[in-house]
């Protein structure tokens, strides 16, 4: 799933996502004071814009130039509050310790030897900052010819890797509060929320 794959997906549909922020983000982040946020795999920008309208300074990253163009076009009222960045986070890591929130929702984070990409994302969380990682629950995922869910991280894979410098505040599977994306049968989300202590 490279840049070409994602660009083609966005180009083939006028709008891929609903335009609403992810409900887990809304539920879990409302109590946090605004700071600097990293929106990983921002797509058409709904989460980034929701955060920015609540006072966050957001760096929104996606591998798809098409998605970022759409997101920027929808962000005319948020000039200066969101930085749209095209990057492959497996080769271009975010700056360490720079973000009060690293938000990762339904991002296909592929397992790698040594967990290099994952550790770089964890390292981007500042001391006192929050990691929020949400995926479709394992029970909702099926293997296909092109995709094996076992190749990608789930929140319960990540929690054991955090170590004593983190406090896990949420590790749960919950029913979705909104309808699943068209053509899918995702009924539950698995969520990891953790605070970096130092």
Angle value at C-alpha 177, between 176 and 182, nearest 5 degrees: 70
Can you give the residue ranges of every domain in the chain? 3-10+23-196
- Count of residues in the chain: 198
Q: Which residues contact 59 (CB under 8 A, 6 or more apart)?
A: 36, 37, 38, 39, 82, 83, 85, 94, 99
**Cross-strand partners of 101:** 37, 130
Element (H, E) at 121: helix 116-123
pLDDT of the chain, 198 residues: tens digit per residue: 677 777 787 677 777 666 689 999 999 999 999 999 999 999 989 999 999 999 999 999 999 888 899 999 888 888 899 999 999 998 999 999 999 999 999 888 999 889 999 999 999 999 999 999 999 898 887 787 777 888 999 999 999 999 999 999 999 999 988 776 666 678 899 999 999 998
Closest CA to 110 of 132, 125, 124, 91: 91
Question: Domain 3-10+23-196 is of which CATH architecture?
Answer: 3-Layer(aba) Sandwich (3.40)
Helix axes 65-73, 3-11, angle to 10 degrees: 50
- Total-model pTM: 0.90
């Amino acid at each position: 799933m490279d840049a070409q794959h994602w660009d083609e997906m966005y180009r083939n549909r006028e709008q891929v996502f609903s335009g609403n922020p992810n409900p887990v983000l809304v539920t879990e982040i409302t109590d946090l004071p605004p700071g600097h946020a990293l929106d990983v795999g921002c797509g058409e920008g709904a989460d980034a814009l929701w955060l920015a309208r609540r006072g966050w300074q957001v760096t929104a990253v996606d591998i798809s130039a098409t998605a970022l163009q759409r997101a920027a076009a929808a962000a005319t009222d948020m000039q200066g509050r969101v930085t749209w960045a095209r990057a492959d986070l497996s080769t271009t890591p975010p700056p360490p310790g720079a973000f009060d929130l690293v938000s990762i929702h339904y991002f296909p984070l592929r397992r790698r030897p040594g967990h290099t990409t994952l550790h770089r994302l964890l390292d981007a969380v500042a001391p006192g900052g929050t990691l929020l990682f949400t995926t479709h629950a394992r029970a909702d995922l099926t293997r296909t010819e092109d995709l094996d869910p076992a190749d990608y991280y789930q929140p319960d894979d990540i929690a054991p890797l955090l170590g004593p410098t983190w406090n896990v505040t949420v590790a749960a599977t919950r029913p979705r509060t909104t309808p699943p994306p068209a053509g899918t049968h995702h009924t539950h989300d698995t969520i990891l929320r953790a605070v970096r202590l130092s």
